[in-house]
Amino acid sequence: MLVTGRRNSIIGAAATPWSLERWIAYVFDRPVTAPEWYWEEGDLADAPAPGVELDLLTRLCERPDELLAPLANAQLNQGFWYLLGSGASGLTLATHDVTIPAARWERCIRAFVPLFARLFAPRCSPHLGHLDEPGADPLNSACYMWWDLLPLPALPEGRARAAVHDACLDTMSATLDLTADACRESALHGLGHWATHDPRRVKALIARFLDHTPGLRPELRAYALAAQSGCCVL
């Protein structure tokens, strides 16, 4: 179990290798504040190297329910926004590191399947982010914006980029198969962004989802139809 009081001593040892436990404490085990902790430059001095952060995120996503169990949803939301949306994390810097093999990105992206199934699905509330429905759980924010915030790797065109692209679409397709509306909406949000790059596959994935998901909320069905043409990127 993570203990907030230990965080400073864990983070302060700059020479200590980044264990998964230490990194989880660094990213997530913090008070929820406004502005968030990562806007304080001093707190980022000991951040992991880009490739290290990518691998740590992969390991976390492969068993998120176990590793993040002690933490509150608001803490998780704040941490995920740091990783994907702040521009300050090593993960963001990793997108500019062409020495990181595409296979490591692909493994990380495919690990989002258990992340959504084991963490977001059971913890998020059924509120829809694109409608800004009141009463949503704090974690819904990171879930909804996941594919919007995701800093994709700066890889050259070719097989490497194609493999990462396929991993993203496969992961979003698998997320559509979950019963949690927050996760389905997140995947549709991502597919809406991908529609301009691979419209044929996006339309096919969403059509399959609609055909195999009876009883879908009308608002979510409308969002899915908009995603087919890239019109749901808000």
193 in a domain, yes or no? no
Q: Is residue 211 part of a domain?
A: no
Residue 14 is assigned to a structural domain of this protein:
yes
Confirm whether 232 is domain-assigned. no
| Token pair listed for 95 | 């997108």
Whether 52 and 58 have beta carbons less than 8 Å apart is answered as no
pLDDT of 39 higher than 50: yes
- Is residue 200 in some structural domain? no
**pTM reported for the whole predicted model:** 0.90
What does the pLDDT read at residue 6?
Answer: 32
Q: What is the pLDDT of residues 84-116, one digit of tens each?
A: 988 788 887 888 788 888 899 999 999 999 999
Q: How far apart, in Å, are the Cα atoms of 135 and each of 67, 73, 118, 125?
A: 26, 14, 22, 9
Q: Rounded distance, CA 207 to CA 155, Å? A: 30
Q: Which residues contact 197 (CB under 8 A, 6 or more apart)?
A: 165
pLDDT at 234: 53
**Burial (CB count <10 Å: 0-12, 13-18, 19+), residue 194:** buried
Q: Which amino acid is at 224?
A: A
**pLDDT class for 76, splitting at 50, 70, 90?**
very high
Residues 6+ apart with CB under 8 A from 135: 125, 127
**Number of domains into which the chain is organized:** 1
Q: What's the per-residue H, E or C state across 11-55?
A: HHCCCCCCCHHHHHHHHCCCCCCCCCHHHCHHHHCCCCCHHHHHH
Residue 3 reports pLDDT greater than 90: no
Q: Is residue 111 part of a domain?
A: yes
Burial of 148 (0-12, 13-18, 19+ CB in 10 A): middle
Report if residue 167 sits inside a domain.
Answer: yes
Q: Is residue 203 part of a domain?
A: no
Tally of residues, the chain: 234
Average predicted confidence (pLDDT) for the chain: 88
Which structural domain range is residue 86 located in?
4-188
Helix pair angle (199-211, 181-194), 10° resolution: 160
Decide if pLDDT at 15 tops 60. Answer: no
